[in-house]
Chain A
Amino acid sequence: MTQAIKNTLPRLIPPGGPLTLAEHLARYGPVPFGDEPGRAGGPSTADLIGEVERAGLTGRGGAGFPAGRKMRAVAETGRRAGPLRSQVGTVVVANGAESEPASGKDRLLLTRAPHLVLDGVALAAEAVGATRGYLSLHAGAGELAADLAAVIAERDRLGLNRVPIQVVTVAGTYVASQETALVSQLNGGAARPSFVPPRPSQKGAHGRPTLVLNVETLAHVALIARFGADWFGELGTPSARSAGSALVTVSGAVRQPGVYEIALGTPVGDLIRRAGGPAEAPQAILAGGYFGGWLPYEPALHIPLSDPDLRAAGAALGPGVLVVLPVSACGLAETAWIAGYLASQSAGQCGPCTNGLPALADTLGQLAFARPDGGASWGDDPPGPTPGLGWAEQLMGLVRGRGACHLPDGTAGFVASGLRVFADEVRQHSVAGPCARVRRPPLLPAPGYGGRA
C-alpha cells in the first residue's frame, strides 16, 4: 500500500493553491492502477470495488447511495451486456454539475484538487471496464471547463487517464444534474429526468452501462484505492453510511462562510464554530440543501453531521449543505420562496409535480404573505385553526413518490420541515398577517428565479 498520508483533515483539499501534477503525485503517491508494478498491499483495481464497498463510501452528491454497489452493478452489467454475453465498454461520468444553489464544494474541489477527482475517474474506469469518461459541469462554470480540459490533456500525455475523458457542460436547472437527466443530455436529449428502469447502470450514455458518481465521491475513491478501506474508516462514525470525511458548504449568518471538510459524525455545532460562529442571532439551520430540511438552531448543534442522524431529526446531509438562518429573517417567507423556486424547476413531465408543486408553492405564499382577510383561497381545506395548513398537508401527500425524479418528494420534505420548525410564524401570520421581516430580501439562493407571478 502506498505510504498513507497523515490521517488528519483535510484529506481532499490541501491548503494553498491547487497542486501541480508532480506535487499531487508526491503528496498522495502514484495512481495505483491494477497493472502498475511495485505496488505492495494496496487494493488492486480488481479489488477496488470490494474495497470501496468495505469502506462504506456513500455518494456525496446528495442521495447518499453506496458507491461500491453502484460500481459493482455497472461492472457486472458491462460484463454480460455484449453479443453472446461478451464484455462491452462501460461509461464513467464524473458529476460536477453542482445544482444545489447553496453548495459550492464540487466547484471548489475541481478548482483546488482536480487531479484527485481525475485519479478517481481513471481508477473507477479501470474497475468497471469503461472505455469512455465524461466530466460534467454546469453551463455557468465558465473558465473552469477550459482549465479542466487542460488538466485532462496534461494527464493524457502521461497515460494517467486510461480512457478518453471529455468535459461537457449541462443545463443549470435544479434537476439537470440528476443522473438520468445527465445521461439524457449526454445522449443529445433534454435536461430532464427519465423513468427508471432502465437505470443508468443498466443502460445509460450511448446505451451503455454507465457509472455516474459525484466528483467528491470519485476523489474519495482515489484515496481508498491508495490507502485502503481501513484508512478511510479512521475518520467518521462506525455506524453505516457515515464513514470517512465529507465536504460541507456553510453559509448564511456565519462569520466565515465557506467549504469545510469534516469527519462524518462531527456535531453541527463544531462545524458552525469552525465557520466562525453565528454572525448574528441565529434561529434555525437548513441542513442538506433544498432536499433536506430546517432544524431549530439550538437543538441542531448537538446533531452529528451524518445522513442517518440528520434524517432522524427531520433534515438530511444531502450534498453537505448548512445554511444558518438569523432571527432577522422570516423562516416561513424563506420556505415559501424556495417552494416557489423548486416549483419553477419542475421539468414539466409528470402531472402530480407539474400541478402539485405550483399549488403547494402558492399555498405557502399565501400562508407567508396573505393578509388574514385577504380572500386567500385554500382549495378543499377543511376548517381548522390555521387556514391553508390542511391544504398544504394534502398537497404534500399528493406529490410524494409520484414523479420520475425526487423533486416532488424533496420539495414536500423541505416544506414539511418549514411548517414544523416555523409553526409559530405560521400561526402569527394567519392571525396578524405577514411580519415585518418578510420585507428582507431572501437569504436562500434561487438562481434564475424571480418569485411567483
Chain B
Amino acid sequence: MSHSLRVNPIACEAHGVCAELLPELITQDPWGYPIVAPGPVPDGLLPLARRAAAACPTLALLLTPDE
C-alpha cells in the first residue's frame, strides 16, 4: 500500500525539522512552512518519511496510507 505525507496546517509551527530531515520531498515557503511534494512517497524514502513525521515537534506531519 502506498503512503502520502500531509501537513496539519493548524498544528504546524514552522519548526522546519521535516524539511531538514526530508529535503527530497519537503521544501519551505518564504515563512518557513513546509511544502510537501504531492503524490505517494517513493518506497525508498519511506523510512526517512517515517522518521520526519516522528520528529515533528508538534506532530503536524502525517504519513498516512492512501485510500
Q: 1/0 per position for B16-33, CB-CB distance to A under 8 A?
A: 000000000000011111
A19 and B46 CA atoms in complex are apart in Å by 62
A195 contact set on B, CB distance < 8 A? 8-11
Q: Which of A194, A350, A353, A398 contacts B30 (CB 8 A)?
A: A398
A350 contact set on B, CB distance < 8 A? 9-10, 12
| Contact A194-B9, Cβ < 8 Å, known A352-B33, A398-B30 | no
B31 contact set on A, CB distance < 8 A? 351-352, 355-356
Whether the pair B33, A351 counts as a contact (CB closer than 8 A) is yes
The smallest C-beta distance from B33 to any residue of chain A, in angstroms, reads 4
Is B14's beta carbon under 8 Å from chain A? yes
Q: Which of A356, A379, A398, A404 contacts B10 (CB 8 A)?
A: A404
Q: Which of A351, A379, A398 contacts B9 (CB 8 A)?
A: A351
A349 contact set on B, CB distance < 8 A? 9-10
B32 contact set on A, CB distance < 8 A? 351
Using a CB-CB cutoff of 8 Å, which residues 398-412 of chain A contact chain B? Answer: 398, 402-404
The smallest C-beta distance from B10 to any residue of chain A, in angstroms, reads 5
Whether the pair B12, A351 counts as a contact (CB closer than 8 A) is yes
The smallest C-beta distance from A429 to any residue of chain B, in angstroms, reads 25
A355 contact set on B, CB distance < 8 A? 30-31, 33
Q: Which partner residue on chain B sits nearest A399 by CB separation?
A: B29
B14 contact set on A, CB distance < 8 A? 351
A402 contact set on B, CB distance < 8 A? 7, 9, 33, 35
Max chain A C-beta neighbours (<10 A), residue from B9, B12, B31, B35:
B9
Number of chain B residues whose Cβ lies closer than 8 Å to a Cβ of chain A: 14
A278 and B13 CA atoms in complex are apart in Å by 49
B12 contact set on A, CB distance < 8 A? 350-351
A355 and B14 CA atoms in complex are apart in Å by 12
Q: Which partner residue on chain B sits nearest A408 by CB separation?
A: B9
Whether the pair B9, A404 counts as a contact (CB closer than 8 A) is yes
Q: 1/0 per position for A340-377, CB-CB distance to B under 8 A?
A: 00000000011111011000000000000000000000
A194 and B9 CA atoms in complex are apart in Å by 10
Whether the pair B9, A352 counts as a contact (CB closer than 8 A) is yes
Majority secondary structure of chain A interface residues (helix, strand, loop or mixed):
loop
A413 and B19 CA atoms in complex are apart in Å by 28
Q: Which partner residue on chain A sits nearest B60 by CB separation?
A: A195
A404 contact set on B, CB distance < 8 A? 8-10
A404 and B11 CA atoms in complex are apart in Å by 10
Whether the pair A398, B29 counts as a contact (CB closer than 8 A) is yes
A356 contact set on B, CB distance < 8 A? 29, 31
Using a CB-CB cutoff of 8 Å, which residues 260-314 of chain A contact chain B? Answer: none
Q: Which partner residue on chain B sits nearest A197 by CB separation?
A: B64
B33 contact set on A, CB distance < 8 A? 351-352, 355, 402
Whether the pair B10, A194 counts as a contact (CB closer than 8 A) is yes
Whether the pair A403, B9 counts as a contact (CB closer than 8 A) is yes
Max chain B C-beta neighbours (<10 A), residue from A194, A195, A398:
A195
Q: Which partner residue on chain B sits nearest A379 by CB separation?
A: B30
The smallest C-beta distance from A350 to any residue of chain B, in angstroms, reads 4
A398 contact set on B, CB distance < 8 A? 29-30, 35
Q: Which partner residue on chain B sits nearest A192 by CB separation?
A: B10
Q: Which partner residue on chain A sits nearest B8 by CB separation?
A: A195
A350 and B10 CA atoms in complex are apart in Å by 5
A434 and B12 CA atoms in complex are apart in Å by 39
A194 and B29 CA atoms in complex are apart in Å by 22
A28 and B29 CA atoms in complex are apart in Å by 56
Q: Which partner residue on chain A sits nearest B31 by CB separation?
A: A355
Max chain A C-beta neighbours (<10 A), residue from B7, B14, B32, B33:
B33
A379 and B33 CA atoms in complex are apart in Å by 17
A195 and B29 CA atoms in complex are apart in Å by 20
A402 and B8 CA atoms in complex are apart in Å by 9
A351 contact set on B, CB distance < 8 A? 9, 12-14, 29, 31-33
Max chain B C-beta neighbours (<10 A), residue from A351, A355, A398, A402:
A351
A194 contact set on B, CB distance < 8 A? 10
A349 and B32 CA atoms in complex are apart in Å by 15
A379 contact set on B, CB distance < 8 A? 30
In the complex, the 3 A-B pairs of residues with the closest C-beta atoms, listed nearest first: A350-B9, A351-B33, A355-B31
Which residue numbers of A lie inside 8 Å of B, CB to CB?
A: 194-195, 349-353, 355-356, 379, 398, 402-404
Task: Offer 21 A-B interface pairs, CB within 8 angstroms, sorted by A.
Answer: A194-B10, A195-B8, A195-B9, A195-B11, A350-B9, A350-B10, A351-B13, A351-B14, A351-B29, A352-B31, A352-B33, A355-B31, A356-B31, A379-B30, A398-B29, A398-B35, A402-B7, A402-B9, A402-B33, A404-B9, A404-B10
